[in-house]
Structure 1
Amino acid sequence: MTISPVHIRTLADDLYAWLPEERGWGLANCGLLVSDRTALWIDAPYDRALAGRWLAESQARMPDGVAVDRVVVTHANGDHLWGAVVLPEAEVVTTRHAIDNAHFEPTPEQLQQLVQGLDGDTPTGWYLKQNFGRYDWTATPVVEPAMLVQGELEFRVGAYPVHLIGLEPAHTTGDLIVHLPAQDTVFSGDVVFASTPEQPGDHAVHWAGPLSGVLAGCERVLATGAGTIVPGHGPVLDRAGVRAHMDYLAHVQERAHERHRAGVPAVQAAREIIAEGRYPELGLPERLVVTVGTEYRHLDGSPERSALEVMGELAQVAAELRIPAQRGGGSGVGAGLAI
């Protein structure tokens, strides 16, 4: 499987965004801020091949003699960090808690072995191959961040100010947002999964939570006053688009709490929320298994579970949703699996 063309969009003076045109796991947005002396990446693509494409696009937009010498990582999920391997001389910056979060995830080597080694006739094996088989993490060591942010940090790329703002636990335990005031832009990381009528996105997936923390992160994005918001995944938004995403998050939160009070188990609650069909345009509805499960964990005070265990439950729900899609039920549910 290959990745379809990526759109490189000029957002403002010397600011560019890498925006994958497909939906799906791992296809994250990235940013490039250029000056006459230095350049900054905001996040890095998922694997070495994608990151090499983004590096070539970046070099075509930088003055002679200028290199990307710093990568700000909005959180330590691999689809925002692992591609930094193509910039061995660059300083990687993220939050202190992002390092702790990364220890709960499989390494690139482990994930590659899972994708290649699991039986494709099982729900988990089928799902991982379908959604992650396009990536190649061969010889992809995880880059160790050189600078860890706690709270807020400001620096400059040439004449341009860059403001990093750490968040309370939301998508992960170590999220930050990147505010570029001169460009009136914020890179939100995965506290925002964007969708518009013209370019539908995917359902959000949140590993740390609670959803109140994700909503607080969205409010912090808006509090910068920026008019352009680049989400972790999906199309570029204006402020109204962020508010619309917050309405979606509040809906999921409300439904999860209702079902928790009724004693409905988390996975079944996710099934019921999916079955409502409230957001049929969104792909990957099975990801509600993760987000609802995370919310239940906070409501119950229960410990965090392994990512592989959670993905097994998600894959089972995805397999259930696949059957009506194959019979011609062309809803957003089926479309979410066809990547």
Structure 2
Amino acid sequence: MSITGGDVVDLGRDLHAWLPPKRGWGLANCGLLVSPRGALWIDTPYDPVLAGQFLAESTKLLPDGVSIDRVIVTHANGDHFWGAGVLPDVEIIATREARDHIHYEPTPKQQHALVNGSDPASPLGDYLGRHFGLFDWSQTEPVQPTTYFTGELELTLGEYPVRISALPSAHTTGDLMVHLPAQSAVFSGDIIFSSTARQPGDHPIHWAGPLSNVIAACEQVLATGAETIVPGHGPVLDRAGVRDHIGYLEYVQERAHAFHAAGVPAPEAARRVIGEGRHPELGLPERLVVTIGSEYRQLDGSELPGVLQVMTEMAVLAQEVEQAREPAGGAE
């Protein structure tokens, strides 16, 4: 089981976006900026197979004698990071906070063992197998950033400026965004999970928060003046699309605060938000367990539960949602 394909979209002035062939866990957008003096990636695919596909497509767009010598990592989740291993000796740029976040992530081989060693008859094992079983990290060694920064970092690639901004705790504690002013574009990482009428996406998942910081980061994207926004996942957006996404985040924030004030536990709050049916077009609604749980911790100072506990809660909720959608008498 594997994923093949993916579209390379020309965004103008030597900037390209690699968009995975489907939506779902772990399928992140990536960027390629090319010049006669070098080339860089913005994020990488999740495993060596997908990263190899992106590398092959990137190589077709490189001038003679040019190689990819930098990778900018928008945050340290593996689906944006682990594919850098297909570029040995490349410079990997991340925030200083991302370095600390890496210690909380499983290694690729640990994650491979978890996905392939879990009981497929259990809710967690079934969920992991269906959503992560198509990736292969069995031979993937951990990668480490080589350049860390705080605040702002500005690079040039040929004639093109590349402005990198560290963000306050939002999707993770080590997020950044990449502004390419010559192309009027921003790669936002996972502060934005996009969806459009033509290309529905998935519910965002935010591990750190608070949502006020995620919203502020989206506003910071708009403040650049960029007309093209490449989110961490989902279709490329214009400025109106980012504003629509802010509206979604404000809705989840308001409901999370209301349910928290009413003493409703976070997993149950996620069930109720799903039940309100405001965004039936979005996939993976069980991810609201994480986002609402993160918001609750910001409100009451509670501690982060173990990842397996959170994943199990999501898996159980996903089963409930799927069963509720089945027609009477079972699925056809």
Residues 240/108 of structure 1: CA separation in 2 closer, same or farther (3 Å cut): same
Structure 1 residue 312: deviation in Å? 1.1
Could you tell me which residue of structure 1 aligns to residue 279 of structure 2? 279
Identity of aligned residues (%): 62
Scaled by the length of structure 1, the TM-score of the pair is 0.95
Could you tell me which residue of structure 1 aligns to residue 37 of structure 2? 37
SS in 2 for 1:187: strand
Could you tell me which residue of structure 2 aligns to residue 17 of structure 1? 17
Could you tell me which residue of structure 1 aligns to residue 187 of structure 2? 187
Could you tell me which residue of structure 1 aligns to residue 59 of structure 2? 59
SS in 2 for 1:214: helix
Could you tell me which residue of structure 2 aligns to residue 323 of structure 1? 323
SS in 1 for 2:286: helix
Aligned-partner Cα distance in 2 for 1:40–1:142: 20
Deviations 1:75-108 (A, max 9, x none): 0000000000000121000000011112112111
Equivalent position amino acid for 1:136 in 2: D
* Structure 2: unaligned runs, 5 residues or longer: none
Aligned-partner Cα distance in 2 for 1:261–1:96: 35
Aligned-partner Cα distance in 2 for 1:136–1:301: 37
SS in 2 for 1:199: coil
The answer to whether the 8 A contact 1:207-1:294 is kept is yes
> Are residue 48 (structure 1) and residue 48 (structure 2) matched?
yes
Could you tell me which residue of structure 2 aligns to residue 337 of structure 1? none
Could you tell me which residue of structure 1 aligns to residue 198 of structure 2? 198
SS in 2 for 1:148: strand
Structure 1 residue 4: deviation in Å? 4.9
Equivalent position amino acid for 1:91 in 2: E
Aligned-partner Cα distance in 1 for 2:329–2:126: 20
SS in 2 for 1:34: strand
Equivalent position amino acid for 1:271 in 2: R
Could you tell me which residue of structure 1 aligns to residue 308 of structure 2? 308
Aligned-partner Cα distance in 2 for 1:28–1:160: 24
Deviations 1:131-156 (A, max 9, x none): 00000002211211110010000011
Aligned-partner Cα distance in 2 for 1:219–1:324: 36
Could you tell me which residue of structure 2 aligns to residue 231 of structure 1? 231
* Structure 1: unaligned runs, 5 residues or longer: 335-339
Counterparts of 1:1-339 in structure 2, within 5 Å, are: 1-327=1-327
Aligned-partner Cα distance in 2 for 1:328–1:63: 58
SS in 1 for 2:222: helix
Structure 1 residue 3: deviation in Å? 1.8
SS in 2 for 1:186: strand
Structure 1 residue 5: deviation in Å? 2.6
Aligned-partner Cα distance in 1 for 2:171–2:151: 17
> Moved runs in structure 1, 4+ residues, more than 2 A?
324-330
Aligned-partner Cα distance in 2 for 1:177–1:110: 28
Deviations 1:214-265 (A, max 9, x none): 0011011111110000000000000110000000000000001000011101
The answer to whether the 8 A contact 2:4-2:50 is kept is no
Single out whichever of 101-110 and 223-232 deviates more from structure 2: 101-110
Aligned-partner Cα distance in 1 for 2:207–2:45: 20
The answer to whether the 8 A contact 1:185-1:229 is kept is yes
Equivalent position amino acid for 1:241 in 2: G
Scaled by the length of structure 2, the TM-score of the pair is 0.97
Structure 1 residue 308: deviation in Å? 1.7
SS in 1 for 2:182: helix
Structure 1 residue 325: deviation in Å? 3.2
